[in-house]
Amino acid sequence: MSSTPDSLPPLREVIATYGLGARKSLGQNFLLDLNLTGRIARAAGDLAGCTVYEVGPGPGGLTRALLAEGASRVVAVERDERCLAALADVAAAFANRLEVIPADALEMDELALFGTSGLPVKVVANLPYNVGTALLIKWLRLPVWPPWWASLTLMFQREVALRLVARPSDPDYGRLSILTQWRARPRLLFDVSPKAFVPPPKVTSTIVSITPLDRPVAEAPLEALEQVTAAAFNQRRKMLRASLRSLGDPDTLLATAGIEPTARPEDLPVAAFCALARALAART
Ligand code: SAM
């Protein structure tokens, strides 16, 4: 059993030793290049004095980098029990600064997990593609803001990353852009080629950094904001007086929010959706 970071075997060997053949159903595309995992860990900024929350450590390539870059503590949630023995080796090599929780990250109550830790929590993850967007939405739609996390440094399919940062009138602008930009600042950091993964995915990936704003771009009740964006982008090219009809009396709603009935959802800034959400909440 390895007991220092330097004596951990190469990841290819770990995968062979523990029989960690990638499973598509778990969104498994592993990063084996420790230079790249180091770059991703450094993209999260100074990790000293931080707890890092990693979803899906798999064989532990990014996990090793996060620990080597100085994270005080890494809490990693992994659904695939085949990976636990390999991760136990990483924990032993890094003096037990790694805690592995065998669980589904979608079910985790992070506030209960980190609420009293006192250290800032940075989320860093090469997310499984099949649940990446659902996890991000879970971390964005919290009732309390600022959130339990200090930053998110996440790998997404490039197509999803572009939706997070899209501005009004961009083709990728939509519900996810608004939910993200309402209370946070997303930035694209760098692309990662499919060739960097085993097995290679079909598309390019992008590392994204998301930091919470102290306060939202404009006040809005979360549920109402989700209702108006869902209705509006259900028919994104229609004028708002048509697309908001499903919410009832769109003309009054638009007048209360001070928005032209002929405006189109794809052109409307985040603050305008907030005004619509406030108008909707005030009406019900
Ligand atoms: N971090 C590793 C790397 O960079 O090589 C693995 C990344 S792989 C894209 C995604 C990982 O998430 C896999 O290890 C998979 O088993 C795990 N996973 C998938 N769904 C999960 C879930 N709902 N909760 C926790 N982990 C999950």
pLDDT of amino acid 169: 96
- Domain end point (choices 155, 177, 212): 212
As a whole-number percent, the residues of the chain with pLDDT over 70 amount to 98
- Model confidence pLDDT, tens digit, residues 195-209: 999 999 999 999 999
Work out how many domains the chain is built from and give that number: 2
Q: Which long-range contacts (CB under 8 A, 24 or more apart) does 145-148 make?
A: 145/183, 145/212, 145/215, 145/216, 146/212, 146/214, 147/212, 148/110, 148/111, 148/114, 148/115, 148/121
Q: What is the CATH number of the domain that holds 38?
A: 3.40.50.150
Same domain membership, residue 137 and residue 178: yes
Q: Is the CB of 132 under 6 A from ligand 1?
A: no
Same domain membership, residue 205 and residue 70: yes
pLDDT of amino acid 4: 87
Same domain membership, residue 124 and residue 27: yes
- Model confidence pLDDT, tens digit, residues 29-56: 999 999 999 999 999 999 999 999 999 9
* Residues 2-26, mean pLDDT to the nearest whole number: 91
CA of 123 to the centre of ligand 1 (A): 14
- Model confidence pLDDT, tens digit, residues 95-117: 989 999 999 999 999 999 997 77
Q: Report DSSP state, residue 163.
A: H
Residue 118: which pLDDT band, with cuts at 50, 70 and 90? Answer: confident
Structural domain includes residue 6: no
Q: What is the CATH number of the domain that holds 254?
A: 1.10.8.100
Q: Is the CB of 62 under 6 A from ligand 1?
A: yes
CA of 24 to the centre of ligand 1 (A): 10
pLDDT of amino acid 133: 96
CA of 6 to the centre of ligand 1 (A): 24
Q: Is the CB of 56 under 6 A from ligand 1?
A: yes
Q: Is the CB of 30 under 6 A from ligand 1?
A: yes
pTM value surpassing 0.75:
yes
CA of 144 to the centre of ligand 1 (A): 27
Same domain membership, residue 207 and residue 98: yes
